[in-house]
């Protein structure tokens, strides 16, 4: 599985979290590592991307409230919605249309509730892959099966080196692979790492945290990490799509832009974003049902820069 933004900063030089691959007999996982910044150019490595109509199936592992589930489902449904005002989540997702093959339409498919922790509260990568396989049809290449773990579920290397992952497994006919991803709720385990900028960071400048737009630090942190893994899954689903650097430590569409949410961002400062006049919450994109979200910048192949919504 490919890993995601584990926000960490160092004064000199700037350190950022990136994706790296590691081998499993049943999956192609990737995890984050710390490296120095490099010139930003994501190269296309001639592999297939996920394009067309894509179904995102969700496996809710552990206990999520109905409101928490609706925040994340509304976020995914916002990707392909054209009825939301600007700046919109859909405008952010349209950046992926600049990658080879054009824009993907995202819809939410199956949702499976596993509130009884069928595999326990300590999950290995292998268990995550097993859970993901229950999300949809194993023969459908145009699906992404996403496992979302609750705040009381510990996942191997969660908070140590990753906040989420994406990867792929072979489908039954062995004629292709199906993509999967995982994101965990960090609110009790590592909000300073996986829910920044809604919590004080563990490392670097201790700037005041932003107010979470949906009033839930853990879930709003999951939005950021879910945005990262879904963009990475579509543009680099099998480790030979768009990325910068070595194949075993690639920077992908959003992980290449770690920590950037608005113009003027720098280490420890997310940039200039919008503020709700009533709640004081920070956001930079609007989704369906009037939801407001703070989503990370994405690398735009048209300009070779990290594009923000505000």
For the stretch 286-300, pLDDT in tens is: 999 999 999 999 999
CB-neighbour burial class of residue 102 (10 A; exposed 0-12, middle 13-18, buried 19+): exposed
Query: Lowest-pLDDT range, 44-53, 77-86, 132-141, 247-256?
Result: 132-141
Distance separating alpha carbons of residues 288 and 297, to the nearest angstrom = 20
Q: Are the C-beta atoms of 251 and 189 separated by less than 8 Å?
A: no
User: Of 2-6, 115-119, 131-135, where does the model show the most confidence?
Assistant: 115-119
Tell me the CB-side half-sphere exposure of residue 15, using CA atoms within 13 A.
15
Q: What is the percent of the chain with per-residue pLDDT over 70, rounded to a whole number?
A: 85
From residue 298, give the alpha-carbon distance in Å to each of 100, 206, 257.
Answer: 15, 25, 6
Q: CA 278, CA 276: separation in Å to the nearest integer?
A: 6
Q: What is the pTM of this model?
A: 0.88
């Amino acid at each position: 599985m490919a890993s995601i933004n584990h926000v960490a900063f160092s004064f000199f030089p700037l350190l950022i979290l990136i994706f790296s691959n590691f081998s499993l007999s049943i999956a192609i996982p990737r995890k984050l590592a710390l490296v120095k910044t490099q010139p930003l150019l994501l190269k296309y490595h001639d592999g297939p991307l996920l394009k067309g109509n894509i179904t995102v199936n969700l496996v809710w592992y552990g206990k999520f409230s109905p409101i928490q589930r609706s925040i994340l489902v509304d976020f995914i449904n916002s990707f392909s919605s054209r009825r939301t005002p600007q700046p919109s989540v859909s405008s952010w997702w349209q950046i992926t249309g600049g990658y080879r093959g054009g824009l993907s339409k995202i819809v939410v498919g199956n949702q499976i509730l596993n509130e009884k922790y069928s595999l326990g509260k300590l999950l290995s990568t292998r268990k995550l892959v097993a859970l993901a396989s229950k999300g949809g049809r194993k023969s459908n290449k145009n699906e992404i099966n996403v496992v979302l773990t609750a705040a009381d579920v510990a996942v191997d290397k969660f908070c140590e080196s990753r906040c989420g992952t994406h990867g792929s497994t072979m489908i039954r006919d062995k004629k292709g692979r199906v993509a999967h991803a995982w994101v965990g709720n960090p609110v009790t385990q590592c909000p300073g790492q996986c829910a920044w900028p809604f919590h004080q960071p563990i490392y670097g400048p201790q700037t005041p945290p932003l107010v979470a737009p949906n009033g839930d630090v853990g879930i709003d942190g999951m939005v950021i990490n879910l945005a990262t893994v879904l963009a990475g899954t579509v543009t680099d689903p099998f480790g030979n799509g768009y990325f910068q650097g070595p194949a075993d430590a690639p920077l992908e569409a959003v992980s290449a832009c770690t920590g950037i949410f608005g113009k003027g961002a720098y280490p420890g400062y997310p940039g200039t974003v919008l503020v709700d006049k009533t709640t004081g919450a920070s956001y930079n994109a609007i989704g369906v049902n009037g939801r407001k979200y703070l989503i990370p910048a994405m690398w735009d192949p048209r300009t070779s820069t990290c594009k923000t919504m505000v």
